[in-house]
Amino acid sequence: MPLIKSLRSFTSLPWALILTSLSCLHFSHAATPTEYVNYQKVQLEERAWAGLHTNSVRIGDIVWSYSEGGAKNKPTIVLIHGIGGNKDTWNDVARELTQHYHVIIPDLPGSGSTQVSKNFDLSLNHLNEQLRRFIETLNIQNNLNIAGHSVGGSVALMYASKYNFDTQSVFLISSGGLFKNNQTSYLNNPIYLKQLLVTKPGDLDFVLKKVMYRPPFVPSIIKKQQEQLLIEKSLETSQLITQLTELNKEFNINSYAAMLKNIEAPTLILWGKQDQIVNVEVAQELKSNIKRAQDPIILNNVGHVPILEAPEKVAQSYLAFLNTVQLQQNMTSKPNGL
């Protein structure tokens, strides 16, 4: 029996929970307590379960690592994780998407297995420029559907604003940014995100209670190994959070709202009602600032990480939205009179 199947038999737990404003950790789908878990093998099997495989490509000074799945002749979706996260955060949602779409999930520079130089510029503007180069290299820029969670939502918003001529749709999940209705310290001053760093044993329990409404049960052997991995990555994650503070220098609330008004693509917004990182009132503010945004979908009993807490609802909502977008695209592309 494949390892991932035996692990999944325990309960539906995400494999690598992601931490910080845009992400949280995502754990393996399930596990019976064992003395050792080969995480690399679990990741590979979970990607296969989701219909994904791993690729890499060098573009300038960046060696991108990314997951890819679905038929290449289908419309393309790019899924953007948050700071502190990686491509595997999306696996639960991607499993539903790869059956119908061509799916690309990159590790952003400074995250996961993507390789960059020591002093790489991790500002959101520069990340967007490099993301565009990545997308153009893969030749998927035309009629692109882009989705982002938490800080990944900020990346998706900035991308869709700058490249509105070839962005077909936008999906925002608990998106970060600068908002009038923000009521949490994490957005007012991203340096508070460092409270969500896992730097010592025991920190993970605190983080889980902050980012998720009902943290899943995780066998202690898995939690200890995941916590150790986060401790080892804590310095890099801290540096990434520091870069987030630059957003407050690049924009103020009004200029950020003006940037949002440049987005032309149909936009779906989804939020957890019990989000403690980016409060749910922000969803309606986003809707009011984006021309073609639909009424937000609010999930009850869900915190900041809907892609891990309610992946089936997220996928179902997104597929229904994409179907509508595709129908509209087909209608507008038909010659008059047909």
pLDDT tens, residue by residue, 199-219 = 999 998 888 889 999 887 777
pTM of the model: 0.87
On average, the pLDDT of the chain sits at 85
Question: Cα Rg for the chain, rounded, in angstroms?
Answer: 19
User: What was the pLDDT predicted at 290?
Assistant: 98
Taking 70 as the threshold, does the pLDDT of residue 182 lie above it?
yes
**Surface-to-core class of residue 115, CB atoms within 10 Å of its CB (0-12 exposed, 13-18 middle, 19+ buried):** middle
78 membership: H or E segment, kind and range: strand 76-80
Identify whether the C-beta of residue 86 lies closer than 8 Å to the C-beta of residue 52.
Answer: no
90 membership: H or E segment, kind and range: none
Residue 269's identity, in one-letter code, is: I
Tell me the per-residue pLDDT of 140-167, one tens digit each, with 9 for 90 and over: 999 999 999 998 999 999 999 999 999 9
CATH topology of domain 3-333: Rossmann fold (3.40.50)
Name the residue ranges covered by the structural domains of the chain.
3-333
Which two three-digit tokens encode residue 154? 């900020």
Average pLDDT, integer, range 105-133: 90
Which of 100-104, 213-217, 266-270, 300-304 is least confident?
213-217
Tell me the per-residue pLDDT of 241-274, one tens digit each, with 9 for 90 and over: 877 777 667 788 999 999 999 999 999 999 999 9
Closest CA to 149 of 15, 325, 304: 304
User: What was the pLDDT predicted at 220?
Assistant: 79
**Selected residue with higher pLDDT from 242 and 132:** 132
Share of the chain above pLDDT 90, in %: 56
